[in-house]
Each structure stands twice: as C-alpha cells, then as structure tokens.
Amino acid sequence: MRNMIEVQQKLLPDLIDVLRKRYMLLQSISHLQPIGRRALAQALQTTERILRAEVDLLKESGLIHVSPIGMSTTEEGARILEEMESIAGELFGLTDLARQLEQALHIQEVIVVPGDADEADWVKQELGAVGARLLRQHVQDNDVIAVTGGSTVASVADHLTPSPLFRTVQFVPARGGLGEKVELQANTLASSMAARTGGTYRLLHVPDRLSPDAFQSLIAEPQIAEVLSIVSRARIVVHGIGDALTMAARRKYSEGELAQLNEDGAVSEAFGYYFDAQGEIVHRMPTIGLQLDDVKKADVVFSIAGGTSKAKAIISFAKQTCQNVLITDEGAARAILSEIR
C-alpha cells in the first residue's frame, strides 16, 4: 500500500488531494444527510458555486441521491465509504500522524480521522462512528461502561446499534449533570446507549457541581451510594476532554474563580478535575461520580476529543497516563505535534 501511494504521488501528485476532497465531501453528506447544497456549503465553509461541480460528479457517479429534501448517499456511496475507511489512514497520512501521537503522548492506541471538528460538524460524527466501532470491539459480558456527557460522546451514542454483545452490559453516567442541554447529559447518554444497543442502565440524579455540605449529604443517600458503587467498578470509560476555562464557564464559575483557574494555568478538564500544561491537578471540584483513581483502575479508557482548539487540553490530560485509546481528528493531531515540537 505504501509503495503504491508513493508511486501515485510521483506520477499523479494531485490525485491524492482530489481523492481526499471527494472522500471528505461524500463523508460529510453521509453524516449530515439529508442536507441541502446551501447548508452543506456552510458546513464545509465553501461556496455553493465551488460545491456544485463536485456534487454533480458524485450524483453522476451514482454515489449520492438528490431529492427535494436534500442530498443523501446511495447504497453504492455507502459501500465506497466503507471500503475507503480501511485505506484512508494510509492514503491521507493519518496513520503516520497516529503513530507520531502514540509516541509523543505515550498512548497505546491513537486513531486520527480526517478533518477538523472546529471547522466542520460532520467530523464530530466521524469521531463518534470510530468510538462506537471500538466500543463494540472491546466490550465483554457483564461490563459496566461509564460515560460522560458532551456532544462528542453523544456522537458515539448516535452510532451504536443493537447487538448481542451488549445484552449483559450496563451503562452508567460517570458524573452528575451540568444543568444545560438534557440531551447531552451523562444520564441521557447512558440511557440512550443502553436503548440503542439492548443493554441496561442506571442513572445518577445529582448536579455536577455541589457545595461540600451537599456533597457529603448526597453520597450518604443509599440509592446514590448504590449507583456510585457500580460506577466505580466500570471496566470501560468513554469520555471527552474539555478546555479548562470553557468547562468552568459552563459550570457557572464566578469571575474570581475563572481568574484563579487562569492564574493557576488550568488547561484541561476531565471528570471534574482541572489540569495544567504539565498534567498536574490545579483544581478539583466536589462532584459525585467517577473519580480519577477509578478511571486509572479501568481496563479500557477511551478519550474522544477533536478540533485544533483542543490540542493543548489533549496534551495536558494525556500526562495522566490513564487512557488506552485516543480518538481525535487531523486538526487536533497536527496542532498537538506542532505544540510538542
């Protein structure tokens, strides 16, 4: 494969670029379907005029179907995407990027998908598709799978399907709720994953941020204590990685608290812990749910985060050395390597 790619690049240097552009276009239509041309142009940050010729070519090739409600992939288009998935990494240099990240971040397995989640929403869906595929590969009978909230983990739920593999699996929220969109809460995603796969779930009805008194009171409640005992035994953890100040703002931290986090050099957030660029904990909020020590005991920890803006946060959390798998995108991967160099 590598020799073939090198020959193609010498004889037809533009071939890979053209193939990559059309592959990503077909991929975006697949994730966003049905979608109109104008909406697709906005999603890809291009113009309808530039997009028209490429869309017409995909239509003529029988890879997409165009109807009054928008464009969607045909069976042939879906087949092409499936066949391309196994070679896209080598073809577009993503496999090399992943290997470099594995060495630089000391992570056992890194998977890099094309694109940049900061620039195109469909990339987040691709991250979710990979996360769902890997979850199916790693799940075992009677597993407890703990999941955090957020849009990236939600995209994993979107790509799960019924399977006998999950019949004895229990999904649990890794933490309480932020009080924002209910569809992105850990409770909602745990129940959604169970419903989509045929597994079971337990819920954790507590806020994400608590006062010390409320924290002590709630963990003493028998029902909450029971769920927490299950959560702490999670063999698989699926979580996102947040930018520290962004996550603190979402939790309604005061201006003084935000200023203190900034002064302390907080870069990343995960599981209610805030880490600086060296991976040291600079702040820990009282939160009911999975603790960092529990995460480190899990057999499989999937970190899913993409977008150039997440590069520093990904580097920061990687220094905790508790993740087995990092699923990220090309934008973040290149920014991470640039930051490290």
Residue found under tokens 């690049």: 9
Residue found under tokens 């240099």: 93
CA distance 276 to 242: 12
Please indicate, yes or no, whether the overall pTM of this predicted structure exceeds 0.85: yes
pLDDT (0 to 100) of residue 217: 75
Domains and CATH numbers, the chain: 2-89 (1.10.10.10), 93-340 (3.40.50.1360)
User: Other CB atoms closer than 10 Å to residue 207's CB: what's the count?
Assistant: 17
Q: What is the dihedral of CA 278, 280, 283, 287, to 10 degrees?
A: 120
Per-residue pLDDT of the chain (341 residues; tens, 9 = 90+): 556 555 555 655 677 788 888 888 998 999 889 999 999 888 888 888 888 889 999 999 999 999 999 999 999 999 999 888 878 888 788 999 999 999 999 999 999 999 999 998 889 999 999 999 999 999 999 999 999 999 999 999 999 999 999 999 999 999 876 656 778 899 999 999 999 999 999 998 877 666 677 777 777 788 888 988 999 999 999 999 999 999 998 888 889 999 999 999 999 999 989 999 999 999 988 788 899 999 999 999 999 999 999 999 999 999 988 889 999 999 999 999 999 98
Q: What backbone phi and psi angles, to 5 degrees, belong to 172?
A: -135, 150
Contact 183, 191 (CB under 8 A): no
Alpha-carbon torsion (40, 42, 112, 131), positive or negative: negative
Contact 302, 324 (CB under 8 A): yes
pLDDT (0 to 100) of residue 316: 97
Residue found under tokens 């010729």: 53
DSSP assignment, residue 166? Answer: G
CA distance 201 to 197: 11
CA distance 320 to 285: 17
| DSSP annotation string for 77-110 | HHHHHHHHHHHHHHHTTHHHHHHHHHHHHT-SEE
CA distance 116 to 332: 7
pLDDT (0 to 100) of residue 222: 82
Integer angstrom CA distances of residue 279 from 29, 84, 184: 38, 37, 26
pLDDT (0 to 100) of residue 178: 60
